[in-house]
Chain A
Amino acid sequence: MNLLEAKGISKCFGGVQALHNVSLTVEPASIVGLIGPNGAGKTTFFNVLTGVYRPDEGTLTFAGQPLPAGQPHRIARAGLVRTFQNIRVFPQMSALENVMVGFHGRTRCGLLGAWLNSSAVRREEREIREGAQELLKWVGLQEMAQRVAGTLSYGAQRRLEIARALATGPRLLALDEPVAGMNGTERGHMAELILRIRAAGIALLVIEHDVRWIAQLCERITVLNYGQGLAEGTPAEIQANPQVIEAYLGHPSHG
């Protein structure tokens, strides 16, 4: 059974058809790439997927259940969590606090609990603090736990975002351009991290421009162009597909 199944997703903004009849599937514990030229609708698709926007048409099924469209927090709690293209850590909170926020949906402490500060609540706090530290270590940020997130380097913020998303206990992690603006070494580290996440049994959906980088990572790639699905297949198929080459490089007769 597919973990994620998006069928015939369409989304309009005024007169602009940002997405038209886009379909995509992700199998459990697999890595799927989503590529396409700028403005192809990749991030819009992510926003529809994670509830920032409601699709005009189409169905989203996650682990056999329909996704609650347009309700980001319920989608996240269902196990589909994302990172953002323009990094969105909580800039004034420490790295540790950032990750601790990720545990919110998995913890229970309510108003009364906070006021009474019972031993159960204290234990819960201790657990998520330790869990957060563990995750920071896992993404290689253990030294940065007390640093203010906004002052971390670009690459560190990207990894912090991933740690925060992992804290929610996702089954599918959607990464929006995780290596944008990174150099070769950093890209290597990110690829290694992505493979480790998959090894932990979490599926990944990765938006990326760099076809070569994504091709070495994933099992399948979906290509978007002008808001429509252009091609779908294995990395080798995609790299050999003339339509994809044209979409990226332009038609030979125009060159």
Chain B
Amino acid sequence: MIACPPRFKFPWMLLGTLILPWVIEGLLGRGWVRILDFALLSVLLAIGLNIVVGYAGLLDLGFIAFFGVGAYAYALLASPQFGVHWPLWAILPTGILVAASFGVALGWPTLGLRGDYLAIVTMGFGEIIRVFLNNLTAPINITNGPQGITMIDALHLGTWSFARPHRLWGIPLPALVGTYYLFLLFVLLALFLSRRLEYSRIGRAWMAIREDEIAAASMGLDTRRLKLLAYALGAAFGGVSGGLFAGFQGFVSPESFTLQESVMILCMVVLGGMGNLRGVVAGALLLAFLPEVLRPLGGWQQHWFHRVLIDPSTLRLLLFGVTLVVLMRWRPEGLLPSRARAREWHTS
């Protein structure tokens, strides 16, 4: 049955994800748990973008803007910037609402656009947000410009701070592992919500719009509303990710929200397999880890050639690019494509 959701091998997957940070900490050290935490935020972002690009087929090159909006929402509501310190449970819904409104604000003027044109407009939108973040300093200083906002409250629920280590039933729980579980919770929730949507009437309508918008409208689908819904939902997921990012990092500045980042998230979705959640998660994890894996290139060169031939950061970008090219050349449908995408590439 095509229309029935396939089942995850739930207990094993869950057990694996639960012990993962401990394994990583034991094998690779604490720094990698931190990378893992950031990777989960990328996964959350990619799940959000997948709704827009994968389900509804709307190419969005400015998606990082919603991440930025969510991050600044958190930063402004929980830092000395305005002297307000809201709790997490109040900030996140606010961030979701704000990000979703920005999603609609982007969606509204672009409803009639498709493909290349849509990509250009969304790219411009992403830049507008970043430029605003950079310049909203006068007449009142809202964003604090390029310096960004510092001393953001750490993620906490009541008295439980995720920035401090804890002890649970005598077992020490490092702060980064605790944060991992918090982020994992959000990722699982996002996966659940996204999956339910995919196999619902709404998901089917998005797919129809992606395949043929004119035919979809002619069958009674309110394409404008459905597209706006996709934008708003995708943005909301991005906003949550951004809020968590701000609280985790304790600092936000506009340079975290460049076009480069938008492209990266899009790569995660496309590379993993547009429209298929497993693929999107795999793509996000791969692209979040790859640059980190390639980080010690300088050391390796030193070891093999006894000197550094190519600047490690340049080489890292180069290898990263090569990986993208290779993957897209031999697996254009992505690592784990949705059935529909696989068909698209292999039936014609």
A residues at B contact (CB < 8 Å): 50-52, 72-73, 76-77, 81-82, 84, 88-94, 96-97, 100-102, 104-107, 109-111, 113-115, 117, 121, 124-125, 128-129, 146, 148, 150-151, 164-165, 167-168
Contact = CB atoms under 8 A, between A and B. Distances in A.
Contacts of B2: 94, 96-97, 146
A104 B219 CA distance: 8
A236 to B, nearest CB: 33
Contacts of B218: 50-52, 72-73, 76, 81-82, 84, 88
Given A150-B347, A165-B219, A96 B202 contact: no
Contacts of A96: 2-3
Q: Which of B200, B201, B202, B218 has the most CB of A within 10 A?
A: B218
A111 B291 CA distance: 37
A151 B347 contact: yes
Nearest to A124: B201
Contacts of B196: 114-115, 117
Q: Which of A102, A104, A111 has the most CB of B within 10 A?
A: A104
A111 B198 CA distance: 11
Contact of B216 (A101, A115, A125, A167): A101
B221 interface: yes
Contacts of B219: 73, 76, 81, 101-102, 104-105, 164-165, 167-168
Contacts of B1: 146
B207 A90 contact: yes
A51 to B, nearest CB: 8
A183 B340 CA distance: 31
Contact of B211 (A91, A125, A146): A91
Nearest to B1: A146
A50 B220 CA distance: 11
Interface residues of B, number: 33
Contacts of B208: 90, 93, 101, 104
A111 B211 contact: no
Contacts of A105: 219-221
A73 B203 contact: no
A195 B220 CA distance: 24
Contacts of A76: 217-220
A96 B2 CA distance: 9
Nearest to A170: B220
A97 B347 contact: no
Interface of B: 1-3, 193, 196-197, 200-205, 207-208, 211-212, 214-223, 229, 233, 340-341, 343-344, 347
Looking at chain B's contact residues, the main secondary structure is helix
A114 B220 contact: no
Contacts of B204: 93, 97, 100-101, 104
A114 B203 contact: yes
B93 to A, nearest CB: 15
A124 B204 CA distance: 14
Give 8 nearest A-B pairs by CB, closest first: A105-B220, A114-B200, A76-B220, A72-B217, A88-B215, A90-B211, A92-B340, A109-B201
Nearest to A165: B219
A129 B3 contact: yes
A198 to B, nearest CB: 21
B212 to A, nearest CB: 5
Nearest to A79: B220
Contacts of A73: 217-223
B3 A168 contact: no
A81 B193 CA distance: 33
A129 B219 CA distance: 17
B347 A148 contact: yes
A176 to B, nearest CB: 11
A166 B329 CA distance: 42
Contacts of A113: 200
B220 A168 contact: yes
Contacts of B347: 148, 150-151
A109 B211 contact: no
A100 B341 CA distance: 20
9 contacts: A76-B219, A88-B212, A93-B211, A96-B3, A101-B205, A104-B219, A146-B2, A148-B347, A150-B347
A114 B340 contact: no
Given A84-B215, A115-B193, 11 more contacts: A51-B217, A73-B219, A90-B215, A92-B340, A104-B204, A104-B208, A104-B219, A146-B2, A150-B347, A164-B219, A168-B219
Contacts of B215: 84, 88-90
Nearest to A71: B217
Contacts of A109: 200-202
B344 to A, nearest CB: 6
A164 to B, nearest CB: 6
A107 B201 contact: yes
